[in-house]
Structure 1
């Protein structure tokens, strides 16, 4: 993975980051790196995520999924319990159909379950606590749907959960294959673990390649942003946010990485959005959103930086010759060449308007490259959290909402639920 921060420098962006500022910031990066290294070595909460290339057990994951034969996989989870697996499935084009139930919209849930051949579908239910309301509710609905068409759900269900709780008890009662959620790894940092890697194992993906790619990126971590791509990204985005660039538009130029942008949005928002700081992650897709969102990023409020991601190598399609004079320039070129031109045009367009962007390039979107990208963004996020001085691995606002919802459903007495009654209303009908 290569990071180019040239278009974030003050010679391009207004305001941008000077080389001198980066050199001063590098002293803080060195201190943060020492803290991160201590956390990794001690397998401390959150920092343990960066040890996953070493600690994840690919063989245990393959053993757990081995009894399951399926043509489709339905992932039942929410947030990090589903987004990582969806990212892997979409990027690596696994050889099974993959669906997610990560919301509790009744119409969508019913339509999805009705559309699946449940006799050829497996469930992967993911919840660390085993008590996540949305996940457990969807699992119960999916289990009942299987039973209603005569499918033995116990033969088609894999569980990933903590050492105790409802899901663990269920797995033990029905002798379900079960994997342990890795200790000390928050859900949004768990993509390189038992939470998300089973989708690759079930779908013929390269689990070892993902971990090897992550390991390659882990080996680049050093005490300087000038030597570490992940730290260069984390430090530069931090410096830009401090200068008012508080929106970070993640814009991959590969259809297979569209879900990655969604995964990044959770990672960045939930980890850094605390104490009045952080960046709002926006999700975009090149070249599609050059025709929509780019207008705002180039000419709207001066608050949005753009992260451009592309692979250097990809399969290509030749554009046929045409008799249409105005399109003659396209004939004989390729869709890949056109997409690269769109990428570079977007980058140049932002620079011409003195708006910052950062370029991320992978060799290709394969297991190794994806592992590098995922690990790199996690390390960048943790580094940015150190620089922002926020509790990166906590999510108090998320927990507040969970308690409020549980109280409204009768799951206990929670003060947060009473806030619903205090809602200010100004209704126009």
Structure 2
């Protein structure tokens, strides 16, 4: 993986090479803290050990138990789904992957109506085994399978913690079970059982995904100038400190569109603490050059644009044409056009004095994805160290969970009482 910081130098806001040199000593200190946390397998830092501690054999043993496999349906939310979705949506397979990560009743019903439930593996994921949205959706899925004459116990894989409702259910019905690793927050779990079960069911090389993670792990050093992940984490932190409070992540590969969703959770939930953080925005190149780029180039000077692309991809040739004004396209490829769009966007932002940086992987395959996911997790941890935030907690999210649970009668939570205090200024239509 490569990170190019050239277009964050001397922009508005921006950095200088001298600034990066000064920050490098802080990066060294932060790396020492990260290395210690990894060595001691501390909460959160343990996620950065996953390329070595994840057990692909255990994942294969659990997933190889299923036959007649046309689709896999993951029932989870947030970090329990987004890592798997990133991998599944980036890699082609004959086994379709679907994700129930919301409780919209219309969307749930529509998906279940069109799934071949007798040839679908249900992958239900919750570390606590008590996540309301996940368990509610799983109950709905289980009933739909029963109504379709499918024995749900033959088609269900559970990924959960050592205790909780899901663990008890798995034990009671002798379901195949994968353990969620200790000390790993959900948003950092893509390279664990949580993220790798789906690609395993789809027939992908999960060992190669972990090998890509090890590539990222082995690149960690005490200098941002030697570590692409730390270069990204340092630059984003320093730019946020100087006013770039929005980070627009713009992959130039449709296969990486879900990666931008995964990144948004990682960045927002990890770094949005104590009035600090950087708001992730999701874009897709070249599509959003025709929409969001207008804002990024000509709007308030409070943005960083992260441009991401593979350097190798399959090619589709553009046919020759004699149409006026289009002859220049003939003989090139769609990949050539996409690369030209990427570099034009990069130059356009630089010309408008907007900081942007380039992240490149060799290709969108198992190894490249493993390295990209690991690098962004390491970048996020480094950013958190530099900003002195509690990277691995999510108290604001927990507040909302308690309020929702209280409203549904799941316990006595004072957070639920706040709902009754909502102010109204209501304007009704005719």
Alignment of 1:18-417 (within 5 A): 18-69=16-67, 70-417=69-416
Tell me how large the CA RMSD over aligned residues is. Answer: 0.6
- C-alpha offsets along residues 257-301 of structure 1, whole Å, 9 cap, x if unaligned? 000000000000000000011100000000000000000000001
- C-alpha offsets along residues 324-356 of structure 1, whole Å, 9 cap, x if unaligned? 021010011110000000000000000000000
- C-alpha offsets along residues 291-316 of structure 1, whole Å, 9 cap, x if unaligned? 00000000001111100001110001
For 1:65 and 1:363, locate their aligned partners in 2 and report how far apart those are by CA, in whole Å. 29
Contact residue 13 and residue 301 of structure 2 kept, 8 A:
no
Deviation at 1:93, TM superposition (A): 1.6
For 1:94 and 1:391, locate their aligned partners in 2 and report how far apart those are by CA, in whole Å. 38
For 1:93 and 1:424, locate their aligned partners in 2 and report how far apart those are by CA, in whole Å. 49
For 2:117 and 2:13, locate their aligned partners in 1 and report how far apart those are by CA, in whole Å. 55
Task: Say if 2:6 is the partner of 1:6.
Answer: yes
For 1:94 and 1:216, locate their aligned partners in 2 and report how far apart those are by CA, in whole Å. 24
For 1:384 and 1:44, locate their aligned partners in 2 and report how far apart those are by CA, in whole Å. 18
- C-alpha offsets along residues 199-238 of structure 1, whole Å, 9 cap, x if unaligned? 1111011100000000011001000001000000000000
For 1:197 and 1:306, locate their aligned partners in 2 and report how far apart those are by CA, in whole Å. 29
Contact residue 306 and residue 357 of structure 2 kept, 8 A:
yes
Q: Give the unaligned 5+ runs of structure 1.
A: none
For 2:411 and 2:62, locate their aligned partners in 1 and report how far apart those are by CA, in whole Å. 35
For 2:200 and 2:295, locate their aligned partners in 1 and report how far apart those are by CA, in whole Å. 41
For 1:409 and 1:225, locate their aligned partners in 2 and report how far apart those are by CA, in whole Å. 48
Q: Give the unaligned 5+ runs of structure 2.
A: none
For 2:338 and 2:321, locate their aligned partners in 1 and report how far apart those are by CA, in whole Å. 19
Runs of 4+ in 1 over 6 A off after TM superposition: none
For 1:203 and 1:109, locate their aligned partners in 2 and report how far apart those are by CA, in whole Å. 22
Deviation at 1:15, TM superposition (A): 2.5
For 2:200 and 2:74, locate their aligned partners in 1 and report how far apart those are by CA, in whole Å. 14
For 1:196 and 1:54, locate their aligned partners in 2 and report how far apart those are by CA, in whole Å. 15
Q: TM-score, normalised by structure 1?
A: 0.99
Contact residue 251 and residue 257 of structure 2 kept, 8 A:
yes
- C-alpha offsets along residues 138-182 of structure 1, whole Å, 9 cap, x if unaligned? 000000000001100000000000001100000000000000000
SS in structure 2 of the partner of residue 196 of structure 1: helix
For 1:365 and 1:15, locate their aligned partners in 2 and report how far apart those are by CA, in whole Å. 31
Greater displacement, 65-74 / 50-59: 65-74
- C-alpha offsets along residues 40-91 of structure 1, whole Å, 9 cap, x if unaligned? 0111000000000000000100000111121100000000000011000011
Contact residue 13 and residue 302 of structure 2 kept, 8 A:
no
For 1:244 and 1:110, locate their aligned partners in 2 and report how far apart those are by CA, in whole Å. 44
For 1:135 and 1:94, locate their aligned partners in 2 and report how far apart those are by CA, in whole Å. 25
SS in structure 2 of the partner of residue 201 of structure 1: helix
For 2:187 and 2:326, locate their aligned partners in 1 and report how far apart those are by CA, in whole Å. 45
For 2:17 and 2:116, locate their aligned partners in 1 and report how far apart those are by CA, in whole Å. 57
Greater displacement, 153-162 / 94-103: 94-103
Contact residue 249 and residue 260 of structure 2 kept, 8 A:
yes
Q: TM-score, normalised by structure 2?
A: 0.99
Contact residue 321 and residue 330 of structure 2 kept, 8 A:
yes
For 2:340 and 2:285, locate their aligned partners in 1 and report how far apart those are by CA, in whole Å. 11
